[in-house]
Structure 1
Amino acid sequence: MGIASYFIKNRWLYAFLVPGMLYLLVFKYIPMFGIVIAFKDFSLTKGIWASDWIGFDNFAYLFKSRDFYQVLRNSVLLSLYQIVWGFPAPIVLALMLNEVRRMLFKRVVQTVLYLPHFISWVVLTGMIVNFLSPSTGVVNMLVGAFGGEPISFLQEPAYFRTIIVSAEIWKDLGWGTIIYLAAMTGVDPTLYESAKMDGASRFQQIRHVTIPGIASTIVVLLVLRAGSILDNGFEQVFLLYNPLTYVVADVFETYTYRIGLVDGRLSFATAVGLFKGAVGFVLIVVANRTARLLGKQLW
């Protein structure tokens, strides 16, 4: 069968690819030509191509800026906290739910845990502000009931990362759990039967059958998460941070927004975004190769 005949035979399958490919082309690849702004003194009146070239001046200024290192530290630390605490959470919960034998209870729990995924960050941050309010918040009411003084959680840098990471875990826990539960359905049931015949306990079956069965899914998701280690999300941070918490809350997304759209320094903001994208590309390549080399030896 020739290439032309193959495409004709599977034309409807490729037709389904067209909307996704158009989306990637229009919103992902064509805008990449705009990175040339990072190497120019961009002027809205002159346009992209007529603006003056300044080479790597924006990057030189970026690496000399104290704000850059603060933003880099905040972005990396926030992502590491999310990986350390947030990445294992859906795995543990999926393993627990997989051991539940009452299907009704299992489905109800899955539904309840999955619902927060559909709550927008605008609504969720409003809930957080209300819960943590120093005057009317439920949390501070409990603190007062035990004789403590009200705490302005959202104005204290020490609490910001804990609040953000906890909110993200609560919001995305159900989604991650469903992914791992779906992966567990692909584990061969005969492996569990063989383990039982060998006298394996439930914990040993989890350790030697279930976890190795979903190891590839864990590795893939970990690689994707490692590649986006500088991506902390814009909405949740922007809606919760304030000048009092900039020292721990300011990440690349909010920093780029302020210097690009608020201050109008579009060239410098593009340089920041290009640096972030380059680091993300390197990280995901390294993580992918590391996973290929060590993935088979993990379990």
Structure 2
Amino acid sequence: MFRGATLPPNSVHNVEAVMDSAWRDLGLGETKVRVTLVIELQRPYGSGDTPTPLQDRVAYLAPDSTHRTTCLAYLPAGSYWTLFILGKRHEGVGGFAQWLEAGLGPCGFYAAYGTPGRPVESWLAARNWDVGLYLGSHGIAGERFSSLDLMGNPSSPWYWDGVYSFPPATVACLAGRPSGCRAAVLAGAAEERTIPIPNVVLVERRWWRVQHLLPGERYLGDVARTVGRDRFLDFWTSGQPVDTALALALKRPVGEWTADWERGFVRPIRLGPMPPLGAMVIALAIAVIALAAVAATAWRRQVR
């Protein structure tokens, strides 16, 4: 479904073909929950049409009591993909398929596994689905591209400003600490949230800045691929607390498994201030001199 422009039949056919391919790549066939994809094409400048309130925000309408078998994904195409869809830009077919896959977001999980159990649904709602934004096995915008790449270069000072803007548990997990990883994963799990009707998931523009886990967008997808469909489905539909259900699926404590998973993307960061190199050398020299003096004094006493 397209908004903002009337497409020629060949353009619609091309998009449908790419979408079918992306659907198969995600391992999705006949599903209990149907996904409706709404692509908002960018209107030409000077157009008299009134812009929609969500024209530049990705949003999802999850299944609820009134529409139990439909999940709607709303994707603003922006200028780049609008030109591609209209046939005015011909490079980037692979990138377009990646964009469509990523755009399925939570709807991909609904299609693959159905409606989650109450504890999982409440947990995901509490954290705005930050651990379930991407079902695919590749990076969200490339082979290994993830929200960690959006943080910038670790050699830049603003990178560390960004790191320390996250909650303490998120930072601790980046440092490889299982306790921090457990807290980062289970953020929101203790909350009993009322799921609204309609249940709209509105993704933040700078979504990678509000994650509790990095790269959280692919966390549940990686869990599902690791444990297999049956065990993940047991977790997904479980009525047990999220911590218990997830540990059963992983067959390991959540914090330990997540810390190992985190190390697959980033080398554990060092926490705490590091003294300047010159100060370290001076301190070591003083320590060596002190030890030598103590040893010399002890030797003299033994000689006497």
Give TM-score, length-normalised by structure 1.
0.24
- Higher share in helix: 1
Give TM-score, length-normalised by structure 2.
0.24
